[in-house]
Amino acid sequence: MNTLIVDTSGDMLFASLGTSGGAVLAETGVKMKSNINENLLKTVDFLLESSGTSLSEIENFYTITGPGSFTGIRIGVSTMLGLASSMGKKLKGISSLDAYALVCGEESVEVWAKLRLKSFVRKSYDFKNMVFSEYETVKLDDEESITHIVNREQKSSLNLTHSVKNIHFTKFGCGYEPLYFRKSEAEINFDQRRACG
């Protein structure tokens, strides 16, 4: 059973094609361009061709749902939704915090993501006891004190698609809806214009 997972949440476009046993058949990472959707489709084609796999052999389609780049996540979700639907499959998601925790490989870790100004979201993971906190939004003055932060300064710090290698990967699967903890700039501006009449 093959799994295709993509990450468009940072400044890199990552994609991996994995097996149910946690092996990766093919993977790639490219610097994001302005035409993300076109690059994403080319990336998927490259993975399939280099691994000798056809799209019909993909059983599971995943995308990183955020938090992260507003535009990137929406393009990743819509593109992967189209691919999954064309094969009669359902698209699944995994948050960037969950994927980071699975990739970093630590038994106990607290993962953060910056939202806006001094606002952050964090989640704690205890893989030894399989206990995980809820997402918590907090204000923090000193970002430098954070060890594990997703997409620090909007730069991809880890290949989050490597989360497919972790034995706990499927436990963190969720819906594909983008995971936002704050409104986008466009939504904020729209709300302000609407409030002014």
pLDDT tens across 66-88, in order? Answer: 998 888 999 999 999 999 999 99
Instruction: Give domain status of residue 132, yes or no.
Output: no
Upstream peptide bond of 178 is cis (omega within 30 degrees of 0): no
Q: Say if residues 74 and 180 touch (Cβ distance below 8 Å).
A: no
Indicate whether 140 belongs to any domain: no
**Which tokens go with 112?**
């953060």
Which parts of 39-192 are beta strand (E)?
58-64, 91-94, 108-116, 119-126, 131-132, 136-139, 149-150
Tell me if 79 is assigned to some domain.
yes
Q: What is the mean pLDDT of the chain?
A: 90
Q: Output the domain CATH number for residue 61.
A: 3.30.420.40
Residue 102 lies in a domain: no
pLDDT band at residue 57 using 50, 70 and 90 as cut-offs: very high
Q: Specify the number of domains making up the chain.
A: 1
Give me the mean pLDDT over the 167-184 stretch: 87
Residue range of the domain that includes 68: 2-96+154-190
Which tokens is 178 given? 């983008």
pLDDT for 183 beyond 90: no
pLDDT of residue 1: 84
Buried b (16+ CB within 10 A) or exposed e, 134-144: eeeeeeeeeee
Residue at 143 is within a domain:
no
